[in-house]
Amino acid sequence: MNTGKTAPALALGFFILLGLAALGWQLGDAALRFKAYERTVTVKGLSEREYPADIVIWPIAFTEAGNDLGSVYGQLETSAGHIRDYLHSRGIDDAAITVSAPSITDKSAQNWSESQAELRYVANQTVTVYSEDVATVRAAMSGLVELGKRGIVIGSDMYGSRVEYLFTRLNEVKPEMIEEATTAAREIGEKFAEDSRSRLGKIRTASQGQFSIEPRDTNNPHIKKVRVVSTVEYYLSD
């Protein structure tokens, strides 16, 4: 047996085994640390605020009827003038008022109508107020009975006659609301970490939900509820 060659081979094998053991320990430690980094918690933060609408769109639809087409057009013009005068008297500028083209229905030309309709022509028209002075317009809405006393038939149930309130300053409030939602999410995450005897780490992922703008309730459509939810995933550590 050649002991001169055996000793170096044994030494080489020992060092190879030692190196493999060290490499295995390092890989195992790295796997444990990687697994620790995978401990996460996902939380949601809400920001919800109320703002007054800054634009109001108020369609005032009215109807006239008669057997003479020229007279019906004249009645429309007179009624539209009365509505303008009323709006002016309530502090609404002429620049905020528009009048649509009239829509005329000839009942005698309808296949489904009675051949002897009491009033042949029915005309609809709309005066629309588009204003940033929401309070003034809302105050004017309460006095429509004055137009009724003048014989103007206001069609509150007509298609397209619903009042709209808009909130257009979303870009102004977005930064503060996003910050508020993110802060709320972190507070929830810290509470979870405390309860689980962990520490909240860095953000792994974050996403911002869509902003929603809705009336506060059916009785107060001029007050808007603005809402956003942020979803944040944090790392946890011991």
Q: Enumerate the β-bridge partners of residue 199.
A: 237
178-182 own/partner pairs: CB under 8 Å, 24+ apart? 178/47, 178/208, 178/228, 178/230, 180/45, 180/47, 181/45, 181/46, 181/47, 181/208, 181/228, 181/229, 181/230, 182/45, 182/206, 182/230, 182/232
Domain co-membership, 42 together with 62: no
Domain co-membership, 182 together with 162: no
Q: What confidence score (pLDDT) does residue 145 get?
A: 87
* CA gap 49, 174 in Å, rounded: 11
* CA gap 154, 147 in Å, rounded: 8
Q: What confidence score (pLDDT) does residue 154 get?
A: 86
Please check the confidence at residue 190 and state whether its pLDDT lies above 80: yes
Please check the confidence at residue 237 and state whether its pLDDT lies above 70: yes
Q: Is residue 236 in a domain?
A: yes
Q: End of a domain among 166, 199, 219? A: 166
**Torsion angle of alpha carbons 195, 199, 205, 209, nearest 10°?**
40
Tell me the average pLDDT of the chain.
84
Please check the confidence at residue 1 and state whether its pLDDT lies above 60: no
Q: End of a domain among 144, 166, 188? A: 166
Domain co-membership, 47 together with 143: no
Domain co-membership, 153 together with 61: yes
* CA gap 63, 211 in Å, rounded: 39
Domain co-membership, 42 together with 90: no
CA distances from 11 to 17, 22, 88 (A): 10, 17, 106
Tally: H helices and E strands in the chain: 5, 10
% the chain with pLDDT above 70: 78
Domain co-membership, 151 together with 233: no
Domain co-membership, 63 together with 149: yes
Domain co-membership, 175 together with 133: no
pLDDT range class, residue 27, cuts 50, 70, 90: very low
% the chain with pLDDT above 90: 63
| Nearest alpha-carbon partner for 237 in 190, 191, 201 | 201
Q: What confidence score (pLDDT) does residue 18 get?
A: 53
Total domain count for the chain? 2
Answer with the residue of higher pLDDT: 200 or 39.
200
Q: Is residue 9 in a domain?
A: no
pTM: 0.76
Domain co-membership, 135 together with 200: no
Full domain range(s) for residue 206: 38-53+168-238
Q: Is residue 174 in a domain?
A: yes
Residue 114 tokens, joined: 């009675």
Q: Is residue 28 in a domain?
A: no
